[in-house]
Amino acid sequence: MILMVSLGLQLQAQQNWCDSLSYSIFPNTTLTVTGNTNGISNIVDSVYWNFTACNAITCYTPQGNNPYSFPLINMTDTVKLCYDAFVYWFGTTTICNHCDSLVYDQNMYTWIVFNRMSNPVGLPGFVIEEDEVRWYNDVAYDMLGKALTTEIPIGTMYFRGGKKYIRLR
């Protein structure tokens, strides 16, 4: 009986370190992040973070220690930010992985997680528009759902008439 109670207490004390990890984004035009351990840094031996940020062209790994900065990521990029966190505790290593899609919110002057926006739908493909953009009766919208009433910047993804476009020139 004592053995069963003892084993039950041990199983309840175990936890998933990955549930206690997250990251913070510093409000800035340059994507800058730092790892958060939500109180486990006093319990575990150490946590080592490895961040990667990918845009449509390539993936970037940061230079230097904490915080991690990605100066080659542009505000117009949709970014896939991922981390691998290595949690060391009493001679064991737990590896935690997490990824988010980020966009820059010009109203808040910071990067935000894409799923915090108004329920985006899947984007199966885009129409490449190389000719001059012509305005018809339908309005164009950017990826955040804002109407583009004056001009569509080059390199911008947008919606118009129920189709997705990328303006190349």
Domain of 131?
118-169
| pLDDT value, residue 117 | 46
Same domain? For 124 and 112 the reply is: no
Type of residue found at 44: V
Q: What is the 3-state secondary structure (H, E, C) of the chain?
A: CHHHHHHHHHHHHCCCHHHHCEEEECCCCCEEEEEECCCHHHCCCEEEEEEEEECCCCEECCCCCCCEEECCCCCCCCEEEEEEEEEEECCEEEEEEEEEEEEEECCCCEEEEHHHCCCCCCCCCCEEECCCCCCCCCCEEECCCCEECCCCCCCCEEEECCEEEEECC
What's the CA gap between 24 and 35, in Å, rounded?
6
Tokens read off for 42: 């006093």
pLDDT tens digits along 73-118: 999 888 999 999 999 988 889 899 999 999 888 888 888 887 644 4
CATH number, domain of 110, equals: 2.60.40
Same domain? For 34 and 89 the reply is: yes
Share the mean pLDDT of the chain. Answer: 76
Q: Which of 88, 116, 144 is the last residue of a domain?
A: 116
Same domain? For 97 and 129 the reply is: no
Same domain? For 66 and 134 the reply is: no
pLDDT tens digits along 135-155: 444 677 777 667 777 777 777
Same domain? For 100 and 41 the reply is: yes
What's the CA gap between 61 and 51, in Å, rounded?
6
Same domain? For 122 and 82 the reply is: no
- Model pTM above 0.85: no
Q: Which residue has the tokens 């009493």?
A: 90
Using DSSP bridges, classify how beta strands 140-142 and 147-148 pair: parallel, antiparallel or unpaired. Answer: antiparallel
| Torsion, CA 28, CA 34, CA 38, CA 42, rounded to 10 | -140
With cut-offs at 50, 70 and 90, classify the pLDDT of residue 132. very low
